Amino acid sequence: MSKAPITHADGKTRCPWPGEDPFYVAYHDTEWGVPDYDDRALFEKLILDGFQAGLSWITILRKRDNFRKAFDDFQPEKIVRYSEKKVHALMNDAGIVRNRAKIEGAILSAKGYLKIMEDGPGFSKFLWDFVDGQPIVNNFKTHANVPASTPLSIKISKELQARNFKFVGPTIVYAFMQATGMVNDHLTSCYCHALCSKKKKPLRLKAT
């Protein structure tokens, strides 16, 4: 994959990683790097990033609707009650990634999520407090400059693991931070860099 920005037929310069795939380009343009402050949506993205481990993100993205159907729209209060029968059904669902450790990890992560929701102001604030509520705006010129993990992603990873979240290593956490806009890693020449930099947090973070 090219490490340099790509100028597309529409005249817009973008990060190189989505290539020319219209589906992937749409995700890059509308979701990746856009600050997300919704508790449940953040949980969903963290779990999906965990399922990505060892795979490409586009593979997970193309299965996302199947995952949502299989995992009850990623409602933690439902996932936490999954029985062995449900796990067996998920292991037979060809529409998702059939990995028992990751499926069981999602159940444990749901327990961790609910504990955070019970103990404090919410999952969103728990995560965004690591960056003082606002995205870290990086200014990378090529994809080769973008790190796989950072000291902050290591710190967040340790905090999540301490709360029994699974598949939340530093690299997964950094990919999650990029996807949810906690860091803006669009290349400086990508037209989305400026757009995401202008995104502001809501007046208050809602614990839902």
Q: In the chain, what percentage of residues exceed pLDDT 70?
A: 95
Q: What's the rounded Cα separation, in Å, for the pair 100 and 85?
A: 12
Residue 7, H or E segment: strand 6-7
Asked if residues 172 and 11 have their Cβ atoms less than 8 Å apart, the reply is no
pTM: 0.94
Quick check: is 129 in a domain?
Answer: yes
Does 63 map to a domain?
A: yes
Write phi, then psi, for 13 (nearest 5 degrees). Answer: -95, 130
Calpha distance 74→50 (Å, rounded) = 13
- Dist. CA 78–CA 71, nearest whole Å: 8
pLDDT in tens, 70-111: 999 999 999 999 999 999 999 999 999 999 999 999 999 999
Is residue 149 domain-resident?
yes
Establish if 205 belongs to a structural domain.
Answer: no
Packing angle, helices 84-91 and 100-119, rounded to 10: 130
Q: Which among 153, 192, 164 has a CA at the least distance from the CA of 105? A: 164
Mean pLDDT of 58-67: 97
pLDDT at 203 over 60: no
Q: Is residue 4 in some structural domain? A: no
Q: Cα(65)–Cα(62) distance, rounded to whole angstroms?
A: 8
pLDDT of residue 134 exceeding 70: yes
- What is the span of the domain harbouring residue 83? 22-197
Residue 89 inside a domain? The answer is yes
Would you say residue 202 lies in a domain?
A: no
What CATH number is associated with residue 182? Answer: 1.10.340.30
More confident residue, 201 or 48: 48
H/E run at residue 118 = helix 100-119
Q: What are phi and psi of 136, to 5 degrees?
A: -80, 120
11 domain-assigned: no
CA atoms within a 13 Å half-sphere pointing along the CA-CB vector of 205: 23
Give, in degrees to the nearest 5, the angle at Cα 67 between 62 and 69. Answer: 120
User: Based on the structure, what is the number of domains in the chain?
Assistant: 1
Would you say 202 and 153 are in contact if contact means Cβ atoms under 8 Å apart?
A: no
pLDDT reading at 205 higher than 60: no
